[in-house]
Every structure is written in structure tokens, then in C-alpha cells.
């Protein structure tokens, strides 16, 4: 790769980047691993040693690098950008640029320009040094266009550069508008009439090349392309050669370029290749320049058209179908009503619960039932040891006989005071004996009604002491149940007495039992990490398979609401509370 082309290429890049201080392009030496300077910007640059550290770092990383604020010149911080250039997996050189400090968000734009610039650098490979003049010409034309301040000035400079370089009589540049080309720049003409015969013939030749999607070199009888419009243009313009190249941008036809040469200086394949290279590189720049200079109304119309095209076109069809389905669902949910249901954990309890407590302090002798057993009224559930009571009963009877004997003796001696005292003692002993008899009659614990034992298993506690009043069993009847719903505090405002609902128990998951809210407690309590309210509900038609203690899920019907509200109100309420807590 020769220095003439590299110098023009590097200058073209630096002119496109604002704030560039200097730049170098270093290539590896043929006989060693060292790098030597091939091109530099500006041409008056004489000190480039400060680039060595950045270049070595880029080679070590084998990729693009940026060293922010690595150097300061006259109090201005400088950034270093470097990018290795590879052609066919072989290192061609390293491009390094020093420019004014940029925010991190703009680094990607700089690397994007460097990437686009080094892509076509590979065209000038080291194996074809004789093409250095060709690529130098390409860079020269590009540099002339990039130096212009407006879109129209860039077009005029482009057609003027091509006219001068090839010695053409006319060079025309046209934009694709609708289904036809319209000439917008014509060399050697500051102003021209679009209705003139020459301009219309040039536009027809451009349409002919675009319709065949191929560049046309006229005359070329063996090309296999239709050249009727080019023949008409040649007859109108005069004998000579014509080159027409369609211009594409983002897979769409943007316009065309037409070069008209005299018979004395005809165009050839080299001219066609040069024009292709130039237009492939300059067309994106011209399109972006034109779009930047368009009025705001035109930009809005184009953006709207592109948006509608992307929305209703065939591109990204799966994403569009998904978006359509989501939009349809949201629209339907915003208009349709649904049943708002409050869901809560539920547990089954009996309407009446009785406890069987120890009547006296003593020791457990036997236990006949345990939790879950069905019992009948009067059935023995447990017994206490009565040995101490019997001994107490025998002792009291002996004391009673002794007191009666003393009473008779006091009567025989006519000791009225002693008679009165002993009589009271006899009455006290009779009362104690009656108390022991009652305790002996209650020593056997029986079921107060038909039901089920919901709590109590004393089979492992035989012989253990019990105190008077200790709860030994809990019993619930087999009919008459109530549902306890544990409603989260975030949903309690939607629950009121009288609301219907459904209950699904874990043991009867295939059946849904109707329920009716009876009572809402006004006190919350913590349960499993949540703050819940206890809501009581009744079961109008309870099946016989129900047992107290069964658990499941209950759903309370809280009225008709919009589906979108039903789906999102919990999240919206949570976000509203969070925003309120964060608000200063």
C-alpha cells in the first residue's frame, strides 16, 4: 500500500471528524515486526511518538481502543482512538487518531466511522500496487464532496470532479422520485430546465439502468442489456460513450449517475469501476446530508411514512402479529367486564366446638379415642385413675363413723355444747363424702354429643398427671360448618358480608362448594409473613364428607369490574403506595 493513497485516505477520515488534532497510519515493516509511519495528518506533523503507546495497546488487544484524556494540549484534554486494520485476516496497519475529548456516549460514533473507513481500505491490497492511482482518485473525489457544507454543493462538486477527472462533457446526478428519475445536478450548468430534451433523455437512460438493476456502459453490444434509451441519448448528444450507474442505499434505489463523454475521450471499464467505488462510498453521505437539510414537515412526513410501512409491512411479521394480539387483548380488556374474585386460603371449622377437660387433678388411666375419630353421645373417651378418690372415700367413711360414735356419747352425758359441735362435724364429713362420690362419677370422660374429635391424642400419655381444667379433647359436630377465609389486607376492602363465593378443598378438588360471607373481623393479624383478616363464611349445602380442619382455597365474588382493572389493580395499588412513600 502506497503513501499517496494512504495520505488521501487518512485526510478524508480526519475531515469528517470534528476536533481532530492529528492522526497517523502505521504499517508493519516487511523484514521485522516493527511498525513504520506510512501516512500522517496534517501533512506538517513532525512529532508522532506520542501515538506509539496507543498503537501498541491496540495491537495487544487486537481490537479498537480508546484512551480518554490521555494527553493535554494548551489545557485541552485529548482522547486517543486506535483501530487495527486487517485485510484477509492479515494485519495491514494501525490507524490512530488524537482528537478533543468526547463524552463516552459519542465514542461509538467515532468507532463506527473508523469501521466504515477501513472496510474499503482493503480494496487497495499490497499485492496490487499498480492500482494505487485508481484508489487515490477515489479518495480524491470523496474528499472534494465531504468538504462541501450543503447537500446541493456536494452534488455540484461531485459532478464537477467526475467531469474534470474523466474529461466528460456532461455528468448528471438524479434522484428517484416515484417511479422515475429526476435530474438534480448537471455539470457545467448552474441552472437547467427539467423539461429540456437533453435532460429528459438523460432521465430515460437512468430509468433504463434502474429497471435492469445494472450499470450500463454504452456502447457495449455484448453486454446483454437493453440500451435503447442510451442509444437515443447518444443520437441526441452526439457520438461518444455513456456510463449510467444506479445508486442504492439500504437496499432501496435512491437515484442514478450518468456520465456523457465525447468520442475523443471515451469511457471504459476502468471509469465504470471508479464510478462504482465512488458512488458506493459517497451515496450514504449524500442521503444523510439531504435528509438533514429537509424541512421539519418533510421529516415528520417521512418518519410517519416509515413508521406506517414498518407497522403494516411484511417485515418483522411475527413481532407485529404478537403486538396485534397484545393490542387486541388490551382493547378487549379495557371494554369488557368480568367477575372480580378475591382469592384466599380457607380452613373448615365446626359451628360449635366443645372441649372435654379434666374434672379433677389426677393421673390418666386410659384413652379410647384420638383426633379424627367419630364418636357418639355418651361414648367413653378417657378415664382417670380413681384409687386416690376411693382411699379418700374410705377415710371419710371411717371419720363419719367415729364422729357418730362421739355424738352418741355426748348425748348420753347431756353435753349439749359437744353435741352441737359434733353434729356440725358430721355434716361436714357428709359433704366431703358427697363431693368424692361426684368426683368418682366424673372420673370417666364421655362424649357430650355425636361428633368428631378434632384435637386430642392421649394414647401416648397414659399414667401422666393432669390438672383440673386441662383440655384433653376438642369435639365438633358432624353437621353445621363454617369457613374461615384468610383474606390479605390489600383485598379486604372488596369483601363485605352477604357476598357469595366458591370453596375448593384440597381433599375435594373436583367439587366447588358454594359459600356465603357472614362476618368480616375488624382486627388483622400476621400469618405466614402476611397481614390477613379473618372472614367467616357459611356453607349452605355441606356434603357429609366434610370434616373440620380441611383446608383449601376460597374465592369471593366482589362484583363486576373491567378486565384490565382486575388484571392490574394489585400492581397499580402497589406502585401508587411506593410512589407515595418516595414522594418528598
CATH number, domain 148-293: 3.30.450.40
Among left, alpha and beta (phi > 0; psi -120 to 50; other), residue 412 is: alpha
Per-residue pLDDT of 52-80, as tens digits, reads 889 989 988 888 999 988 888 888 999 99
pLDDT score for 130: 45
Per-residue pLDDT of 535-567, as tens digits, reads 989 888 777 777 777 889 999 998 898 988 888
pLDDT score for 314: 66
| Third-level CATH fold of 3-125 | Beta-Lactamase (3.30.450)
pLDDT score for 120: 60
Segment 78-88 shows an average pLDDT of 88
Is pLDDT at 139 greater than 70 in this prediction? Answer: no
- Mention every residue, 6+ apart, whose C-beta is less than 8 A from residue 447: 356, 375, 376, 377, 378, 379, 381, 475
Which among 370, 550, 360, 371 is positioned nearest to 442, based on CA atoms? 360
pTM score of the predicted model: 0.42
Count of residues in the chain? 584
Q: Whole-angstrom Cα distance, residue 256 to residue 569? A: 58
Calculate the CA 151 to chain-centre distance. 42
Q: First-to-last CA distance in the chain?
A: 66
Which among 196, 247, 192, 238 is positioned nearest to 218, based on CA atoms? 238
DSSP characters for 520-574?
Answer: EEEEEEEETTEEEEEEEEE-TT--TT--TT-EEEEEEEEEEEEHHHHHHHHHHHH
Q: Which residues of 309-334 are buried (b: 16+ CB within 10 A; e: fewer)?
A: eeeeeeeeeeeeeeeeeeeeeeeebe
Domain 480-582: which CATH number of 2.40.30.170, 3.30.160.250, 3.30.2010.10, 3.40.50.1000: 2.40.30.170
Is pLDDT at 448 greater than 90 in this prediction? Answer: no
Percent of the chain clearing pLDDT 90 (strictly above): 14
Per-residue pLDDT of 481-522, as tens digits, reads 788 899 988 888 889 999 999 999 888 878 888 999 988 887
Segment 472-479 shows an average pLDDT of 77
- Confidence grade of residue 98 (pLDDT, cut at 50, 70, 90): very high
Q: Are 264 and 274 in contact (CB under 8 A)?
A: no
Segment 112-140 shows an average pLDDT of 60
Which among 166, 202, 167 is positioned nearest to 184, based on CA atoms? 202
Percent of the chain clearing pLDDT 70 (strictly above): 92
Strands (E), 74-196: 76-87, 90-100, 170-177, 180-186
Only one residue has cell 485529548, namely 78
- Confidence grade of residue 119 (pLDDT, cut at 50, 70, 90): low
Is pLDDT at 22 greater than 60 in this prediction? Answer: yes
Segment 374-401 shows an average pLDDT of 82
Amino acid at each position: 500500500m502506497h503513501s499517496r493513497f494512504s495520505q488521501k485516505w487518512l485526510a478524508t477520515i480526519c475531515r469528517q471528524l470534528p476536533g481532530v488534532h492529528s492522526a497517523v497510519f502505521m504499517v508493519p515493516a516487511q523484514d521485522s515486526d516493527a511498525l513504520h509511519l506510512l501516512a500522517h495528518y496534517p501533512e506538517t506533523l513532525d512529532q508522532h511518538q506520542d501515538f506509539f503507546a496507543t498503537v501498541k495497546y491496540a495491537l495487544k488487544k487486537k481490537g479498537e481502543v480508546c484512551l480518554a484524556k490521555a494527553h493535554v494540549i494548551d489545557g485541552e484534554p485529548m482522547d486517543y482512538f486506535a483501530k487495527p486494520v486487517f485485510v484477509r485476516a492479515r494485519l495491514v496497519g494501525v490507524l490512530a487518531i488524537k482528537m478533543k475529548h468526547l463524552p463516552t456516549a459519542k465514542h461509538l460514533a467515532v468507532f463506527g466511522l473508523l469501521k466504515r473507513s477501513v472496510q474499503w481500505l482493503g480494496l487497495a491490497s499490497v499485492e496490487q500496487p499498480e492500482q494505487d492511482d485508481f484508489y487515490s482518485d477515489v479518495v480524491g473525489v470523496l474528499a472534494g464532496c465531504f468538504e462541501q457544507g450543503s447537500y446541493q454543493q456536494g452534488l455540484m462538486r461531485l459532478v464537477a470532479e467526475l467531469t474534470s477527472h474523466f474529461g466528460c462533457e456532461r455528468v448528471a446526478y438524479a434522484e428517484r422520485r416515484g417511479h422515475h428519475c429526476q435530474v438534480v445536478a448537471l455539470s457545467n450548468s448552474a441552472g437547467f430546465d427539467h423539461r429540456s430534451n437533453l435532460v429528459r433523455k438523460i432521465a430515460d437512460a437512468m430509468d433504463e439502468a434502474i429497471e435492469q438493476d445494472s450499470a450500463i456502459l454504452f456502447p457495449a453490444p455484448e453486454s446483454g442489456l437493453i440500451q435503447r434509451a442510451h442509444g437515443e441519448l447518444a443520437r441526441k448528444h452526439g457520438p461518444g460513450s455513456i456510463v449510467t450507474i444506479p445508486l442504492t442505499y439500504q437496499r432501496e434505489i435512491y437515484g442514478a449517475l450518468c456520465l456523457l463523454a465525447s468520442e475523443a475521450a471515451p469511457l471504459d471499464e476502468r471509469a465504470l469501476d471508479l464510478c462504482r467505488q465512488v458512488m458506493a462510498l459517497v451515496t450514504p453521505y449524500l442521503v444523510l446530508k439531504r435528509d438533514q437539510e429537509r424541512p421539519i414537515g418533510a421529516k415528520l412526513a417521512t418518519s410517519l411514512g416509515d413508521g406506517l410501512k414498518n407497522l403494516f409491512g411484511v417485515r418483522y411479521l411475527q413481532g407485529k402479529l404478537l403486538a396485534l394480539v397484545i393490542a387486541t387483548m388490551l382493547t378487549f380488556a379495557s371494554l369488557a367486564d368480568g367477575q372480580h374474585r378475591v382469592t384466599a386460603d380457607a380452613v373448615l371449622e365446626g359451628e360449635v366446638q366443645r372441649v372435654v377437660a379434666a374434672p379433677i387433678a389426677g393421673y390418666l388411666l386410659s384413652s379410647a379415642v384420638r383426633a379424627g375419630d367419630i364418636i357418639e353421645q355418651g361414648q367413653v373417651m378417657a378415664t382417670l385413675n380413681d384409687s386416690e378418690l376411693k382411699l379418700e372415700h374410705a377415710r371419710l367413711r371411717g371419720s363419719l363413723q367415729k364422729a357418730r360414735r362421739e355424738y352418741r356419747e355426748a348425748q348420753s352425758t347431756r353435753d349439749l355444747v359437744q353435741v352441737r359441735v359434733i353434729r356440725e362435724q358430721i355434716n361436714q364429713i357428709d359433704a366431703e363424702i358427697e363431693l368424692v362420690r361426684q368426683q368418682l362419677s366424673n372420673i370417666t370422660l364421655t362424649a357430650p354429643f355425636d361428633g368428631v374429635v378434632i384435637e386430642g391424642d392421649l394414647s401416648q400419655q397414659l399414667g401422666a398427671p393432669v390438672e383440673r381444667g386441662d383440655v384433653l379433647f376438642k369435639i365438633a359436630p358432624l353437621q353445621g360448618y363454617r369457613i374461615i377465609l384468610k383474606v390479605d389486607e390489600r383485598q379486604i376492602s372488596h369483601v363485605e358480608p352477604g357476598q357469595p363465593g366458591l370453596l375448593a378443598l384440597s381433599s375435594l378438588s373436583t367439587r366447588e362448594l358454594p359459600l356465603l360471607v357472614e362476618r368480616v373481623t375488624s382486627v388483622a393479624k400476621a400469618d405466614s409473613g402476611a397481614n390477613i383478616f379473618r372472614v367467616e363464611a357459611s356453607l349452605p349445602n355441606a356434603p357429609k364428607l366434610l370434616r373440620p380442619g380441611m383446608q383449601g382455597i376460597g374465592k369471593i365474588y366482589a362484583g363486576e369490574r373491567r378486565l384490565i382493572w382486575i388484571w392490574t389493580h394489585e400492581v397499580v395499588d402497589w406502585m401508587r403506595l411506593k410512589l407515595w412513600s418516595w414522594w418528598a
